[in-house]
Amino acid sequence: MRFHSPQKLKTIADLIGSEFVGPEDFEVLGTNEIHMVKPGDIVFVNHPKYYDKALNSAATIILIDKKVECPEGKALLVSEDPFRDFNKINTHFTRIYNFTEELHDAEIGEGTRIHSSAVIGNNVKIGKNSLIFPNVVIGDRTEIGDNVIIQSGTVLGGDAFYYRKLNGNFDRLISVGNVIIENNVEIGNNCTIDRGVTDSTVIGEGSVLDNQIQIGHDTVIGKKCLIASQVGIAGCCVIGDEVTLWGQVGIASGNKIEGGSVLLGKTGVNRDLKKGTYIGMFAEDFKGYLKKEVKLRNLK
């Protein structure tokens, strides 16, 4: 999430009541998750296991639960609860409506048709000649391109599935990102595409999604991908261009799949994949799998 205008380190520290390390006027441009950070971003970290990753990331402001040595050219915000204060920063700069108020500020392009039963949130943009079927829900800040088809029951921009355990309960990291659907995308019935926590969940130009697909927060789908029914993609994944995912493929969070790959039905992904064709619970190379099957069947 980028702020509407640059902020100063002391301003953010005062907002959350934290100590800071660095110049008072150190420039802060926004917030982001560790997977997505850029210079000027705040990233939060609340476990020693991840200190080095956060301190050495592209983020230049680290919201951390312990005072540590600050890398050169960076700043710290020292908080007793970085998770809580990350939420506080995000919701201060991005108002959360969750359909409780209607601003009637959607921008709708020429030739776009929207069924009267569709529900559209605030700050939504829809391009030209798109078609929105009955009972579609489009959350706040969603951006939809030209010539897009979204079929019945699909939800764009729901909350990210991102929690921590606190005092025996689950505490949500509030989602202030959005969903971007590029031009010429088709999305089937009853799909759910969560908005980014602090960035964008993106469906690339020309991609086609079947029915009942779940795509997690901050995931980026490339151009001209083909995704069959009941695929589940967790948050912060990157799917390259022209990837085919057949039915019931499951992809764990934070993984990358190189462009041109094909994942056959029920393939499970728990690591990054180079271009290829894969099958099986742990994404085995398809040719290797066939050779193994032949050897097994020839055993006496």
B/e letters for 169-178, b = 16+ CB within 10 Å, e = fewer, are eeeebbbbbb
* Pairwise CA distance, residues 286 & 213, whole Å: 24
Q: Are strands 137-138 and 119-120 parallel, antiparallel or unpaired?
A: parallel
Question: H helices of the chain, where?
Answer: 9-16, 51-55, 82-93, 286-298
Active-site residue (options: 47, 92, 104, 217):
217
Task: Report yes or no: 173 and 162 within 8 Å, Cβ to Cβ.
Answer: yes
**Which two structure tokens, joined as six digits, stand for 3?**
């702020």
* Pairwise CA distance, residues 250 & 109, whole Å: 35
CB-based contacts of 218, cutoff 8 Å, min separation 6: 33, 35, 36, 160, 177, 196, 197, 198, 199, 200, 201, 235, 236
Concerning whether 217 is annotated as a catalytic residue, the answer is: yes
Question: Any idea which residues carry the catalytic annotation?
Answer: 217
